[in-house]
Each structure stands twice: as structure tokens, then as C-alpha cells.
Amino acid sequence: MPSSEGVGVTAPSDARARGTRLPRVRRRRQLLAAAQEVFVARGYHAAAMDEIADRAGVSKPVLYQHFPGKLELYLALLEEHSEVLVEKQREALESTDDNRQRVIASFRAYFDFVAGDGEAFRLVFESDLRNLPAVREKSEETFQRCAELIGAVIRQDTSISDEEAHLLSIGLVGMAETSARYWLNNHGSVPKDAAEQLVARLAWRGISGWDLQRAAGEQD
């Protein structure tokens, strides 16, 4: 997610020489970094284990010692980057008690995620494997976990029902994801800070209608 941020992925170039022995954890990170480069560049179906091994500077048997197949590599990356996104959302919501600033921080978390190095966001948001149950379930789980974090704040600070709070949080997460991806795919034609503020302001105009607690003296 940013692709290597928060997950300790080691760049493949750190250990190019074949036969170099690395601790298992470091080797795994190296292989995941190489796989991410290939998956992002070629897409899952066009990626080959031979190319991933070559990118990591290891033999194919070494790659198979850590991951029995291409799908296991992909799922490991999806898991790590999904955790990064959820943690970014958690940190954003815990960064302040001011709900308007929470909305801004929440949208910033999504923009930061899609703007990260390596285009890891594509593994989470633009996978060509969404038809596979394991990938679909992980993607939906990530979406729901982000929504639950936001929904908890809404429930805490409004009188609306749990079901209504969850529906609002689903809408906010979808808005954040869609707007951030659109912004990136249009080459950031609007400066990142301005884009975050613009979309967050739209969201706040709606969500503040439920009498969310605000900082004293704050105005819409």
C-alpha cells in the first residue's frame, strides 16, 4: 500500500546476487517487493513466477520455498497493503477529537495511500482477480473495516442508529476511495492538498447535518 510503507518491504535490488543467503523474513520481503513490481507492471494474469524470481535475484525453487504459487504471493501482498490502509484510517480518526478535522484526515489517508510509491493501491482497489473468492473477501473486508472505524465515530457523536451510522460510513469510504483514485488517474490535475480539502469539505457539509460535535466556535 503506499506500496512499501508500513510493511517493511525490502527493494529487490538489495539482494540481487543469486545464492545470497538471507534471513527468512528478509527474503520474504524481498520476494514480495519483486512480486509487487511485476504484478503492478503486468497485471496478475500476465505475471510469471520466472520473472518474479528473476526480479528478486533468486532461483525459482527459492521462490517456491516461500510461496507455493502466484496466488499465494498476490494474497500476501493484498493482506499487507490492506493492513496499511486500515491502519492509516485508524490513525487518521485517532489524530484529533475535532470531527471536521477527522473528516479531512480520513480523506487524506486515502489520498496518501493511492499516491504512495509503487502503485500498491492497484492491488487493493483495481485487482483483476476480484472474481476469486479469497481476493473478493479480503477486498470487501478491508472496505468494511475502514467503514466500521468511521461508523464508530458517527455512532459515538450522533443519536442515529447503528444501521444508519454504518450506511453513512459506507458512503464516506466509497467517496474517499473513488475520489482518490480518480484524482490519481487524472495525474493529479488538482494539487493533492486542494483535492483532499475539496472532497472532505463536501463530505463534511453532509455529515455535519447530524449534529456531530465540533470544536467550539467552528463554522461550516
| Domain boundary pick from 35, 68, 101 | 68
Q: How many domains is the chain partitioned into structurally?
A: 2
Q: What is the average pLDDT across 150-161?
A: 89
136 with 36, same domain?
Answer: no
Residue 66: its H or E element: helix 60-66
The CA angle 74-44-138, to the nearest 5 degrees, is 40
- Is 182 found in the same domain as 149? yes
pLDDT bin (cut points 50, 70, 90) of residue 9 is very low
Of 44-48, 138-142, 157-161, 176-180, the one with minimum mean pLDDT is 157-161
pLDDT of residue 141: 95
**How does DSSP classify residue 2?**
-
- Taking a C-beta distance cutoff of 8 angstroms, is the pair 173, 147 a contact? yes
Q: How far apart are CA 139 and CA 137, in angstroms?
A: 5
Backbone angles phi, psi at 17, to 5 degrees: -65, 125
Residue 6 lies in a domain: no
**Domain-embedded: residue 16:** no
57 plus 96 within the same structural domain:
no
Q: For residue 104, what are the CA distances in angstroms to 64, 82, 196?
A: 43, 21, 7
Is residue 1 assigned to a domain?
A: no
Residue ending a domain, among 68, 99, 127, is 68
More confident position, 87 or 213: 87
What CATH number corresponds to the domain at position 138? 1.10.357.10
Number of residues assigned to the chain = 220
Distances (CA, A) of 137 to 78, 107, 145: 11, 23, 12
Q: 81 to each of 18, 76, 124, 166, how far by Cα in Å?
A: 27, 9, 7, 24
Q: Do residue 111 and residue 63 come from a single domain? A: no
Average pLDDT score over residue span 39-54: 91
Residue at 12 is within a domain: no
Residue 43: which region, alpha, beta or left (left: phi > 0; alpha: psi -120 to 50)?
left
Do 123 and 195 have their domain in common?
A: yes
Poorest-pLDDT segment among 1-15, 61-75, 194-208: 1-15
Residue 216 is assigned to a structural domain of this protein: no
- Under the banding of pLDDT at 50, 70 and 90, the label for residue 54 is very high
Per the structure, the complete domain to which residue 185 belongs is given by 78-207
Cα-based distances in Å from 120 to 5, 12, 96, 159: 10, 15, 27, 38
CB 150 within 8 A of CB 109: no
pLDDT exceeds cutoff 90 at 17? no
**Does residue 214 lie within any of the structural domains?**
no
203 in a domain, yes or no?
A: yes
Q: Looking at the structure, do residues 64 and 85 belong to the same domain, yes or no?
A: no
CATH code of 32's domain: 1.10.10.60
Residue 16 has pLDDT above 60, yes or no: no
Q: Judge whether 49 lies within some domain.
A: yes
> Could you give the C-alpha distances from 114 to 130, 135, 155, in angstroms and in order?
18, 19, 28
| C-alpha 217: how far from chain center | 34
One domain, residues 37 and 140: no
